[in-house]
Copies of this chain bind each other. A is one copy, B any other.
Amino acid sequence: MPRPDRYHHGDLHDTLLREAGVLLREQGVEGLSLRRLAERAGVSRTAPYHHFADKNALLCALAERGFQRLEGLIEELSLDPADPEPGLRRFVRAYLRFASDDPERYELMFGRTLWKAGRPGPALTRVAHGCFRRYVEAVRLDRLAAAPGGADPLRVAQASWATLHGLCRLLLDGIYLRREDMEAVSDQAVALMLAGLGRA
């Protein structure tokens, strides 16, 4: 849509998000400066400020998009109470693939940049928490059948998500985990989570 020689860009908001996504993927958050982004969009330094309050807001929007995709993954997660392993294994692999397909996006979604150093907007907070709520329900086997005296579903969800998340972080930051080990470790994680799923 954007004509090369028009004063108004016409589609700057979406263009910014798209190009920011590319920049993020290729260079990480460190390489994503508003100035470079503006240049890439063929627009002056301060133009983005009419579409995003500041850099924090733009990063929030990027993270939001990530959570929306992640939500899709979680929606597909469903466990057979009689034999939860295949479903869980499928989800774990999908989650790891999601994280390693666009590591910088994953980092942005869960990292301190937004949640600690920055200010996560209400929209981001909502979708992020929504994801987790869906997950809690998905791994809540006791409601469907089986073990009535199981552990607190919230705790199970938190601990298992932590395992998943820790796996991703160790892998993506390149410490203690290498890509080749991923499959074996993820199987080990599935075993871990399964053990925690039934009962504490």
Contact = CB atoms under 8 A, between A and B. Distances in A.
Contact of A162 (B115, B116, B189, B195): B189
B196 A188 contact: yes
Contact of A176 (B161, B175, B189, B191): B161
Nearest to A128: B175
Interface string A180-194: 010011011101110
Query: Chain A contact residues (Cβ within 8 angstroms of B): what range?
Result: 35 or more
Which of the listed residues A28, A162, A168, A189 has the most CB atoms from chain B within 10 Å of its own CB?
A: A162
Nearest to A176: B132
Given A115-B173, A159-B188, A192-B196, 12 more contacts: A111-B112, A111-B173, A115-B174, A151-B188, A151-B191, A158-B170, A161-B170, A162-B170, A162-B177, A162-B189, A166-B169, A191-B195
22 contacts: A28-B112, A110-B170, A111-B111, A115-B173, A115-B175, A116-B172, A116-B174, A155-B188, A158-B170, A158-B176, A158-B181, A159-B163, A159-B185, A159-B192, A161-B166, A161-B176, A162-B167, A162-B169, A162-B170, A165-B170, A166-B168, A188-B196
